[in-house]
Chains A and B, each alone.
Chain A
Amino acid sequence: MFISPKLTRDAMPGNFLILNNVEVTFDPFILVIKGVSMEVEKGSIVALLGANGMGKSTILKAISGVIRLERGRVTKGYIEFNGRRIENMMPDAVARLGITYVHEGRHVFEELTVEEDILSGLYGRRKMDPKDALEFVYNYFPRLKERRKIRSGYLSGGEQQMLVIARALISQPDVLLLDEPSLGLFPSVINEIFDIVKKINEYEGLTVILAEQNVKKALEIADYGYVVEGGKIVLDGTPEKLMNNPDVQDYYLGIGRAGRISYQDVKSYKRRKRWIS
């Protein structure tokens, strides 16, 4: 029932998106990402977890090149995609390679209709007929099909989030960078969106990197997780490992020790300088 053009392509196993010791500096001295290394397997869902201002979004923006529009640069290390260096490329060029970044906060093109908004993702990256491409995304987002003639500014928050994912999906990228898809949404809507993301990942073999504060939901669908703190990766592992880690439980899941915990009892990875090497 799901049309899946991806299945016909050669599956390339192994790590195809690699970040090696990446440092990101903004205009021109603010060091935000301080040496991040990640390896992402094709077809997996990877979660970046952490609180606000810790650098999750910046990592995604560094991969997609969007930092270039915000006076940021990768000043050290490299990012490799399919054996090709992509750090400091402009975002449109990265997007044409098959990496699409979905901004945090549901940036729909308000004045366009839903259908036009989705189609805008197809410009310059057309792989199939626009009509087929639309049907392909409507399969995953039937709700958008019902509303295709409405201006996207009038959609509800959840529908707008679906819209921006659909817009990213229509060009059939290899990697989808999702920035905070759960932001400000009702829990059942969050579930719906995460289910769809998981489904797309399974049916299309789409690699997803997810920056999330909703640690529990993110780990439910992820294959691997990284905890980001202060611009560094302080912990990584499979979802089970992270879920069972006492610090993650304390810090992000709130299901650790019972009762109130003093701040001093909580181990902050910031204070544990174990990564200095």
Chain B
Amino acid sequence: MVEASSILNAVIIGLASGTIYGVMALSFVLLYRIARVVNIAVGDMVLLGAYLILFFAELHLVPNPVLNILVAALLASLLSVALALFTERALFKPLYGQPVLTLIMMTVALGLLLRGATIIGWGTTLRVFPNQNEIWPLHPLEIGPVKLPYVYVWSITGALLIFGAFLYIFRKTIFGIAMRAVSLDPEVAAAHGITISKMYIYSWIIAYVAAVLSGLILGAINGINIIISDLGLSRALPAALIGGIDSPSGALLGGLILGLIEHTLGTYLNIYLPGIRDVIPYLVLLVVLIIKPYGLFGTVRIERV
């Protein structure tokens, strides 16, 4: 018999880990929505992010370990802006106008490139962030019956900040409106003074920063290793699809649903069917797509006759 408090605990932890899936899915969704790039490299971007943060954290720029990791995350984000510029200008700009498949193949290449770079730079042994136990104490945060590891507190806070800022910009500012306009009709948007290629660069930058910051949380939970790459892709993709592939708020919802089911049903069934936990995301995806083919929040195109 499972205790009520442990179910509650599983639910909370599921939702907490769902936030990080949501951020990764946001990275995927935004690129698809704006630049029509199906980004298979999202997991590798997360992987690179984790290693970049590790790299900057090991420099020990600030004595305080918590501040140190925050500074490292900031520096890694700044570096990822440069990477985003490189990716868009050098790899994808020549390909716009080509069939979707070409772009997908390029993201596969990008993924291998990033993964190769991390292997060359850091090898394949499992690493952890320096002073990890001081940043995220082993003893979990206890709120009533719920025991929440500190890394999830970070994950929730970070995801709320990222989604809050992003959704505000995307929904309320003229910049966000212009971004959505480009996603709907680039040619018309261009005639109204919106530079399409710049919008693509911005979406790459946001995608990179979101992925890199997810690397911090995934790296803290699983340790930093090549495995993060597959983990990232296998969670970001179904979360994005569940939410409707082009909806940022859907990405968060998709991530939450995924995390919840993985940590409740998945963990429970895993005792009887080892490995089912990694399949569950795709089963959820299947069910959602059968019921709502556009995903939960996906854009149903208006067709006036």
Partner of B191, one of A100, A117, A130, A151: A100
Return chain A residues, CB-CB under 8 Å to B196.
92
Task: Check if A91 sits within 8 Å of B190, measured CB to CB.
Answer: yes
| Cα–Cα, bound, A111→B294 (Å) | 15
User: How far is the CB of B35 from the nearest CB of chain A, in Å?
Assistant: 16
Return chain A residues, CB-CB under 8 Å to B189.
109, 120
Return chain A residues, CB-CB under 8 Å to B194.
92, 120, 123-124
Return chain A residues, CB-CB under 8 Å to B192.
95, 100, 120-121, 123, 167-168, 171
| Cα–Cα, bound, A256→B196 (Å) | 48
In this assembly, does B271 line the interface, its C-beta being within 8 Å of a C-beta of chain A? no
Scan A149-177; emit 1 where CB is below 8 A from any B CB, else 0.
00101100000000000011001000000
Task: Check if A123 sits within 8 Å of B184, measured CB to CB.
Answer: no
Scan A100-129; emit 1 where CB is below 8 A from any B CB, else 0.
111100010111100011011111111000
Return chain A residues, CB-CB under 8 Å to B175.
123
The chain B residue with its CB closest to the CB of A123 is B178
Return chain B residues, CB-CB under 8 Å to A92.
190-191, 193-196
| Cα–Cα, bound, A123→B186 (Å) | 14
| Cα–Cα, bound, A130→B178 (Å) | 14
Task: Check if B174 sits within 8 Å of A112, measured CB to CB.
Answer: no
Contact-residue size bin, chain A (C-beta under 8 Å from the other chain) = 20 to 34
Return chain B residues, CB-CB under 8 Å to A120.
174, 177-178, 180-181, 189, 192, 194
Q: How many A-B residue pairs have CB under 8 A?
A: 92
Which of B40-48, B134-142, B297-305 makes up part of the contact surface? B297-305
Task: Check if A119 sits within 8 Å of B195, measured CB to CB.
Answer: no
**If A92-B195, A95-B192, A168-B192 touch, does A103 touch B187 (CB 8 Å cutoff)?**
yes
Task: Check if A109 sits within 8 Å of B181, measured CB to CB.
Answer: yes
Task: Check if B174 sits within 8 Å of A126, measured CB to CB.
Answer: yes
The chain B residue with its CB closest to the CB of A154 is B302
In this assembly, does A64 line the interface, its C-beta being within 8 Å of a C-beta of chain B? yes
- Among B185, B190, B191, B304, the most chain A Cβ lie within 10 Å of the Cβ of B191
The chain A residue with its CB closest to the CB of B195 is A92
- Among A90, A111, A168, the most chain B Cβ lie within 10 Å of the Cβ of A111
The binding surface of chain B is classed by DSSP as helix
The chain A residue with its CB closest to the CB of B176 is A116
User: How far is the CB of A96 from the nearest CB of chain B, in Å?
Assistant: 5
The chain A residue with its CB closest to the CB of B181 is A120
Return chain A residues, CB-CB under 8 Å to B67.
none
**If A111-B302, A112-B184 touch, does A103 touch B191 (CB 8 Å cutoff)?**
yes
Task: Check if B187 sits within 8 Å of A112, measured CB to CB.
Answer: no
Task: Check if A112 sits within 8 Å of B190, measured CB to CB.
Answer: no
In this assembly, does A17 line the interface, its C-beta being within 8 Å of a C-beta of chain B? no
User: How far is the CB of A91 from the nearest CB of chain B, in Å?
Assistant: 4
Partner of B174, one of A64, A110, A119, A168: A119
Scan A264-276; emit 1 where CB is below 8 A from any B CB, else 0.
0000000000000
| Cα–Cα, bound, A120→B176 (Å) | 9
| Cα–Cα, bound, A66→B196 (Å) | 13
Task: Check if B184 sits within 8 Å of A110, measured CB to CB.
Answer: yes
Return chain B residues, CB-CB under 8 Å to A110.
184, 301-302
User: How far is the CB of B301 from the nearest CB of chain A, in Å?
Assistant: 7
| Cα–Cα, bound, A120→B299 (Å) | 19
Partner of B185, one of A90, A109, A171: A109
A residues at B contact (CB < 8 Å)? 64, 66, 69, 90-92, 95-96, 100-103, 107, 109-112, 116-117, 119-126, 130, 151, 153-154, 167-168, 171
